[in-house]
Amino acid sequence: MVRLTVRLLAMAKKNMQAQMEYYSKFSPSPLSIKQFMDFGQSKDVDSAKSFVFLRQELPVRIANIMKEINLLPEKLLQMPSVRMVQGWYQQTFEELLEYVEKTEEEDPVLLRYINQLTTIRNRHVNVVETMAQGILEMRESYKVDQHEENNVQYFLDRFYISRISIRMLINQHTLMFGQIPTTHPLLVGSIDPSCDIVAVIRDAYDSAKYLCDQYYLASPDIDVRWIDARDGSDSIRMVYVPSHLYHIMFELLKNAMRAVMEHKGPSASEFPPIGILVTKGKEDVTIKVSDEGGGIPKSEIDLLFNYMYSTAPAPPKPGVSIIPPLAGYGYGLPISRLYAKYFHGDLTLSSMDGYGTDAVVYLKVLSSEASELLPIYNSAVSRYYKTPTPASDWSTPGYFIRNYTTKRYGK
């Protein structure tokens, strides 16, 4: 009996691997915000059409990123937290495969599928933190070379944007066709056809201010201005996902507040406000967040988007601190940039060391141009992981001085 059970488990695992190989050969099908909107607002929209698309698309997106996980450094794959994440994805993939062969599109199947997607979304809610913990485990256990660090950075950008895309598809389906209605009748799933950019910014500020007040017992104000270069409207509105914009702005404002408070000191009588300028042009809605928090050295700007770098102390363990932290794993900026890039926007930083920092968010004005940016697993990806980091063909700072002093002074 035991042998039979082991044999059946081995066969099931082999079959799942074969299915993963099969679906990873397909490229994901990126959708634009306009396509999401057109489908959600069409007169004959129903859950059966969405089900037919998702039962093929979700396994493809998951298989693509799961194949890539196996190319990560063995040091990272050994970590318990990373194995846990792998287990979640494998379980999700197996559950989704049950619906691939279902040709009947009747109400019981459609309702069961919605419940399944809700279960999957809840299962993956802590993926970012768990993977971040896996990175910490690796750094504590091994010395990581530059090639391995580059591979981890490359993978996590692709892994997290894949996660954003999968959650987007799941949210659209469950919000539109689930038993619980959307929070607002004008929303199309999670998309607001007339998203008030300034209102979302103010909501994000209120949340960041709450944390800042608890942590520092004070907080800087914001000064918001906006310019609509298209039609001179008294507000900036566009078709967008408010939760994505909120995530980006909350992180930027939280960082700006922390910088101002620590630069000026908690005993300061007043704090310079954080300036926010929103403009709407022909192609982009641009949001600039400017603080006077002392700035960042130019040498550290790129490091702020590195998952293995953080200017903040390590996050407190559960139960250790009752004060909500203003910084944690150092993933806030990298993930926020991915949210901006997901629909072909961007997030950049520029700084004046000793004075302050400007963060600029770019969002596509036209919903037809705001298409998903998705990772694809192919031979080029595999080559990237295997190719060693090339030796630098440029001089590095301090190289001449180090060699000169060694030769001349024997230091």
Point out the residues that are catalytic: 247, 251, 254-255
Report d(CA 31, CA 45) in Å as an integer: 17
Count of Cβ atoms closer than 10 Å to residue 233 Cβ: 10
- List the alpha helices (DSSP H) in 237-396: 242-264, 298-301, 332-342, 379-386
Decide if 346 contacts 334 (C-beta within 8 A). no
Report d(CA 305, CA 143) in Å as an integer: 21
Count of Cβ atoms closer than 10 Å to residue 226 Cβ: 18
Place of tokens 């939760």: 243
Angle at 112 between CA 109 and CA 116, to 5 degrees: 135
Which residue in 214, 76, 218, 46 sits closest to 139, CA to CA?
76
Starting at the edge strand found earlier in the chain, the sheet holding 284-291 runs 222-228, 274-280, 284-291, 356-364, 346-352
